[in-house]
Amino acid sequence: MNGHDTDTRIETDSLGQVQVPKAARWGAQTQRAVDNFPISGRPLPERFILAVVRIKRCAAEANLKLEQLPADKQAAIVGACNDLLAGHHLDQFPVDIFQTGSGTSTNMNVNEVIAHLCADAGVEIHPNDDVNLGQSSNDTIPSAIHVSAVLAVTEQLLPGLEHLIASLGLRAREGRELVKTGRTHLMDAMPVTVEQELQTWVLQLQDASSRLARARDELLAIPQGGTAVGSGINAHPEFASTFADQLADETGLAFKPLPHPFVAQSALDAPLNLSAALRGLAVVLMKISNDLRWMNSGPIHGLGELQLPATQPGSSIMPGKVNPVICESVTMVAAQVMGLDQANAVAAQSGNFQLNVMLPLVA
């Protein structure tokens, strides 16, 4: 049904009618969130949205296997999810990070977009009764935190660290015979080799990588299937295990149902552990970057022990000046990660009884 404004249409939810942009593939609940939360202008990260979409696809597959969802509806939902996972329509998720603490607005945004895509394909799908079948925002959003974090650490962070460790290890071996001044209190101390100095960084990074991998593995246990409060109400008794098997098959990672879903819905202990491991990595990278800046300082009136690659001019007024800009960039990222870890700590203790209500911030 069209609204009075030709650029909008009318959608309806339990609170009544809402005007939605005609071209939008979301519905009434998403539009209410857009109207209610014009706060940061920042939507949740694409990787997180795609994790929610992946959950919807696995839920449809699980509900088909459990005979809770007809095959035509399952096929339509899976097709819509595949479209989104291929990178299409990702402009249809406008809800601000700073929204309802359960992330319900984002869960419904995904449900509504999938339902609209199904309708475009000629299959009538209900965003709650079909797309959200056997689920709640209260188990879907924390599960998506786990899934998106596991995939990001596995696909991006650990391989990047492995490359950095290998590169530093090579440079360390090249410096086996090079002796330089050691320093304590920034003052000259006993001599060390370049290999000894760089190998310290290598071992720090290897330890940080191991801590990250352990924190990642802790997130493989997901609360999906706990529904509203953790008890699994309105979900098939075998939904949690069937869903986890489907997710493990799709990702090649050992996702499994959390034995007591209440834990990951009312608290965020495992995501906070990953946040702490990220903070630990940030501290290591800050130390390495600052050492490199000192060693590169000068080159005439500083330490001048090494020369970092020139990546860009360093001054708008001093010709020939080159600065350690990559190291500076890393130190700013490290500072931001440390601050985000503090925000995650505040968010993680904001669980009241059966639900944490700062889930989108941690996501």
User: How many CB atoms lie under 10 A from the CB of residue 94?
Assistant: 16
Which amino acid, one-letter code, is at 357? Answer: V
Tokens coding 226: 């706990």
- 209 and 70 share a domain? no
CA–centroid distance for 186 within its chain: 38
Are 314 and 202 contained in the same domain?
A: yes
CB 154 within 8 A of CB 252: no
- Tens digits of per-residue pLDDT, 227-285? 999 999 999 999 999 999 999 999 999 999 999 999 999 999 999 999 999 999 999 99
Read off φ and ψ for residue 36, nearest 5 degrees. Answer: -80, -25
Last residue of a domain, one of 69, 104, 135: 135
In angstroms, the CA 339 to CA 48 distance is: 20
Residues 58 and 131 in one domain: yes
The catalytic site residues sit at 185, 315
Q: What are the structure tokens assigned to 304, written together?
A: 């001048």
Other Cβ atoms closer than 10 A to 171: 16
More confidently predicted of 2 and 167: 167
State which residues form the domain around 320: 146-221+240-362
| Single residue among 79, 102, 135 that ends a domain in this structure | 135
> In this structure, is residue 253 part of a structural domain?
yes
257 and 162, same domain (yes or no) = yes
Is residue 184 a part of any domain in this protein?
A: yes
Q: Are residues 266 and 181 in the same domain?
A: yes
Burial class (CB in 10 A: 0-12, 13-18, 19+), 241: middle
Is residue 12 a part of any domain in this protein? Answer: no
Closest CA to 254 of 225, 220, 222: 220
Tokens representing residue 86 in the block: 């291929």
Q: Where are the beta strands (DSSP E) in the chain?
A: 8-13, 16-21, 179-184, 187-193, 221-222, 256-257, 351-352, 355-356
Q: Determine contact, residues 282/333, Cβ cutoff 8 Å.
A: yes
What CATH code is carried by the domain that includes residue 116? 1.10.275.10
Between CA 231 and CA 205 the distance in angstroms is 41
Are residues 172 and 305 located together in one domain of the fold? yes
DSSP 78: H
**C-alpha torsion 34→35→41→47, nearest 10:** -10
Average pLDDT rounded to a whole number, residues 25-29? 98
Residue 59 CB neighbours (<10 A): 30
- Written as six digits, the tokens of 334 are 């490290």
Separation of first and last alpha carbons in the chain: 35
Q: What pTM did the predictor assign?
A: 0.96
Same domain, 190 and 326: yes
b vs e for 321-354, b when ≥16 Cβ sit within 10 Å of the residue's Cβ?
ebbbeebeebbeebeebeebbeebeebbebbeee
For residue 153, being part of any structural domain is answered with: yes
Q: Which of 135, 165, 187 is the last residue of a domain?
A: 135
* Domain of residue 152, CATH code: 1.20.200.10
67 and 205 in a single domain? The answer is no
316-323's contacts with Cβ under 8 Å and 24+ in sequence apart are none
Mean pLDDT score, 170-176: 97
Residue 10 reports pLDDT greater than 60? yes
Residue 2 has pLDDT above 50, yes or no: no
Asked if pLDDT for residue 361 goes beyond 80, the answer is yes
- Alpha carbon distance 257, 223 (integer Å): 6
**Domain contains 13:** no
Express each pLDDT in 45-91 by its tens digit. 999 999 999 999 999 999 999 999 999 999 999 999 999 999 999 99
Position 6 confidence tier, pLDDT thresholds 50, 70, 90: confident
Q: CA–CA separation, 94 vs 108, rounded Å?
A: 12
CB 297 within 8 A of CB 303: yes
Q: How high is the mean pLDDT of the chain?
A: 97
